[in-house]
């Protein structure tokens, strides 16, 4: 993050309504009671968290618990922060005065398709319910390489894309035109950042995959359905997906999410051993919500679901990703695939909610939507746990649709 006082990009931790500026905190001896981190304090003055991630999950957990301890009512070291108003003034910044930046340098971004209900719903729309899931779907986490340069931080406006669109699929010969996208959609996803590299040729075993994951963000994989329909055969989505992917700014450490692990969706296919996890609880139970706010500011919750609606876990995705030898790097981002529940109002894309245009969503205030309109803002929020136990909140993942450029 950065702020008005200093445009230097530096790491921070969100605590309640404040950001703890780790650069200032660390250089003001904030970590003096955590001896083993002393040789590594430089990680807290980097513009991105890659070097901190590289220290490993054990360190992430200890740093997290150390900061929790400093903020607890009966902290052992009140002199460090609780009773040090001068330091508090310098290192605790009101969240609304903070400008967020991408928290990691993302070497590569890969988007999976592990939301089984989404894959089923979309498959059923285009191929009917019998052939909804492709034969490989339950055997491996289907995924494709995404565009790292197009991953942007929450709040970045999204320009409605233009592209080749086939308006009359029945015409012969087929005549696409260059048009502004008319089927601009969202995809509700989680993203996971990698904290451990692997060498080319050496797959990450399923036993080692979990410790390779740094933390989780909310992710909106903006999608142009009409561009996608024409371009994606045979090599997959391309310009329909590379115009912007939004993530929430605060990475929630996997360490903090451990209490919220639950079983993934049931898979009738017995997985090959390389994908079998010892731990039954392998996906997060994060309550997710998608709000659509129209240009007049009227907000409607269009989706309520949970991230347990995944057929594969992030460790399984990472292991499969590297099974042929793909080198994994610290800062790589994995998208989960669209998360949809089975009921109405729980689907993570408008394509599903409106059955590709057959039905409409009624918004509060009377407007209707099939796909997104210019000026619409989409905000994803996520919470794990409830008020009475340790609740973990995610930062907002939001973006507003700008009108397409004139053609």
Residues known to be catalytic:
118
- Least distance to a second copy, CB of residue 277, Å: 16
Return the residues of window 83-112 that contact Ni ion according to CB under 5 A. 107
Q: Which is nearer to Ni ion, 328 or 384 (CB)?
A: 328
SS3 78: coil
β-bridge mates for residue 381, sequence order: 289
Whether residue 358 is annotated as binding a ligand: the answer is no
**Partner from Ni ion, Ca ion, Mg ion, none contacting 187, C-beta within 5 to 8 A by type:** Ca ion
Whether residue 367 is annotated as binding a ligand: the answer is no
Whether residue 245 is annotated as binding a ligand: the answer is yes
CA distance 154 to 191: 13
* By the rule CB under 8 A, 243 interacts with a second copy: yes
Contact (Cβ atoms closer than 8 angstroms) between residue 188 and residue 303: yes
Residues 6+ apart with CB under 8 A from 215: 60, 192, 193, 195, 251, 252, 253, 254, 256, 257
**Structure tokens that stand for 7 in this block:** 């445009």
Residue count (the chain):
407
**Structure tokens that stand for 53 in this block:** 């991630």
For residues 58, 63, 66, 67, the Cα torsion angle rounded to the nearest 10 degrees is -150
- Using the rule CB under 5 A, give the single segment among 204-212, 243-251, 277-285, 383-391 that binds Mg ion: 243-251
Whether residue 74 is annotated as binding a ligand: the answer is no
Total number of residues that touch Ni ion (CB under 5 A): 1
- Using the rule CB under 8 A, give the single segment among 41-49, 68-76, 241-249, 376-384 that binds a second copy: 241-249
CA distance 224 to 168: 17
Residues 6+ apart with CB under 8 A from 170: none
CA proximity to 27, closest of 50, 44, 10, 39: 44
**Partner from Ca ion, a second copy, Ni ion, none contacting 348, C-beta within 5 to 8 A by type:** none
**Structure tokens that stand for 120 in this block:** 């089923």
**Partner from Ca ion, Mg ion, a second copy, none contacting 36, C-beta within 5 to 8 A by type:** none
* By the rule CB under 8 A, 325 interacts with a second copy: yes
Return the residue of 191, 237, 335, 395 that touches a second copy, per CB under 8 A: 237
Token pair 């079983």 in the structure block, residue: 263
Return the residue of 185, 320, 346, 394 that touches a second copy, per CB under 8 A: 320
Contact (Cβ atoms closer than 8 angstroms) between residue 66 and residue 33: yes
Class of residue 149 by CB neighbours under 10 A (exposed 0-12, middle 13-18, buried 19+): exposed
* By the rule CB under 8 A, 145 interacts with a second copy: yes
Residues 6+ apart with CB under 8 A from 6: none
**Partner from a second copy, Mg ion, Ni ion, none contacting 143, C-beta within 5 to 8 A by type:** a second copy
CA distance 180 to 161: 6
**Partner from Ni ion, a second copy, Mg ion, none contacting 148, C-beta within 5 to 8 A by type:** a second copy
SS3 337: coil
Over the window 101 to 130, marking each residue x when it contacts a second copy by CB under 8 A and - when it does not, the resulting string is: ------xx----x-----------------
- Using the rule CB under 8 A, give the single segment among 5-13, 55-63, 160-168, 292-300 that binds a second copy: 160-168
- Least distance to Ca ion, CB of residue 335, Å: 6
CA distance 382 to 367: 26
SS3 144: strand
* By the rule CB under 8 A, 327 interacts with a second copy: yes
Contact (Cβ atoms closer than 8 angstroms) between residue 301 and residue 290: yes
CA distance 399 to 338: 17
Whether residue 185 is annotated as binding a ligand: the answer is no
Over the window 192 to 221, marking each residue x when it contacts a second copy by CB under 8 A and - when it does not, the resulting string is: --------xxxx------------------
Whether residue 338 is annotated as binding a ligand: the answer is yes
Annotated binding site for substrate: 113, 127, 228, 232, 338
Annotated binding site: 111, 113, 127, 187, 189, 221, 228, 232, 241, 245, 338
Interaction site with Mg ion (CB under 5 A)? 221, 241, 245
Interaction site with a second copy (CB under 8 A)? 107-108, 113, 134-136, 139-140, 142-150, 152, 156, 158-159, 161-164, 166, 174, 176-178, 181, 200-203, 224, 227, 230-240, 242-244, 272-274, 320-321, 323-329, 332, 402, 405
Interaction site with Ni ion (CB under 5 A)? 107
Annotated binding site for Mg(2+): 221, 241, 245
């Amino acid at each position: 993050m950065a702020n008005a006082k200093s445009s230097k990009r530096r790491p921070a931790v969100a605590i309640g309504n404040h950001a703890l500026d780790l650069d200032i905190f660390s250089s003001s001896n904030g970590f003096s009671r955590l001896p083993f981190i002393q040789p590594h304090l430089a990680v807290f003055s980097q513009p991105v968290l890659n070097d901190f991630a590289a220290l490993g999950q054990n360190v992430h957990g200890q740093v997290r618990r150390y900061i929790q301890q400093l903020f607890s009512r009966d902290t052992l070291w009140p002199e460090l922060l609780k009773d040090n108003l001068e330091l508090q003034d310098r290192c605790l910044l009101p969240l609304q005065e903070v400008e967020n930046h991408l928290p990691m340098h993302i070497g590569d971004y890969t988007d999976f398709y592990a939301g089984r209900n989404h894959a089923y719903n979309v498959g059923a729309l285009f191929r009917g319910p019998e052939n909804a899931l492709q034969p490989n779907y339950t055997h491996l986490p289907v995924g494709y390489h995404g565009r790292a340069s197009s991953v942007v931080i929450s709040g970045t406006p999204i320009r409605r894309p233009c592209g080749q669109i086939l308006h009359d699929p029945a015409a012969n010969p087929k005549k696409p035109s260059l048009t502004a996208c008319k089927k601009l959609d969202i995809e509700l996803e989680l993203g996971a950042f990698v904290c451990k590299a692997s060498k080319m040729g050496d797959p990450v075993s399923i036993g080692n995959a979990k410790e390779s994951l740094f933390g989780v963000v909310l992710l909106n994989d903006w999608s142009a359905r009409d561009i996608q329909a024409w371009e994606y055969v045979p090599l997959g989505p391309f310009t329909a997906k590379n115009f912007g992917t939004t993530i929430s700014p605060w990475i929630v450490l996997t360490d903090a999410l451990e209490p919220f692990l639950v079983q993934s969706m049931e898979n009738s296919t017995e997985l090959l051993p390389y994908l079998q996890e010892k731990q039954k609880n392998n996906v997060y139970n994060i309550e997710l919500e998608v709000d659509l706010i129209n240009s007049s500011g009227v907000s409607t919750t269009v989706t309520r679901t949970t991230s347990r609606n995944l057929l594969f876990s992030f460790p399984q995705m990472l292991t499969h990703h590297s099974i042929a030898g793909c080198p994994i790097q610290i800062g790589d981002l994995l998208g989960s695939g669209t998360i949809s529940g089975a009921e109405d109002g729980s689907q993570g894309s408008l394509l599903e909610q409106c059955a590709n245009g057959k039905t409409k969503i009624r918004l509060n205030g009377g407007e209707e939507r099939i796909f997104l309109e210019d000026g619409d803002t989409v905000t994803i929020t996520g919470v794990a746990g409830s008020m009475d136990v340790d609740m973990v909140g995610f930062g907002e993942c939001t973006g507003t649709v700008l009108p397409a450029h004139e053609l």
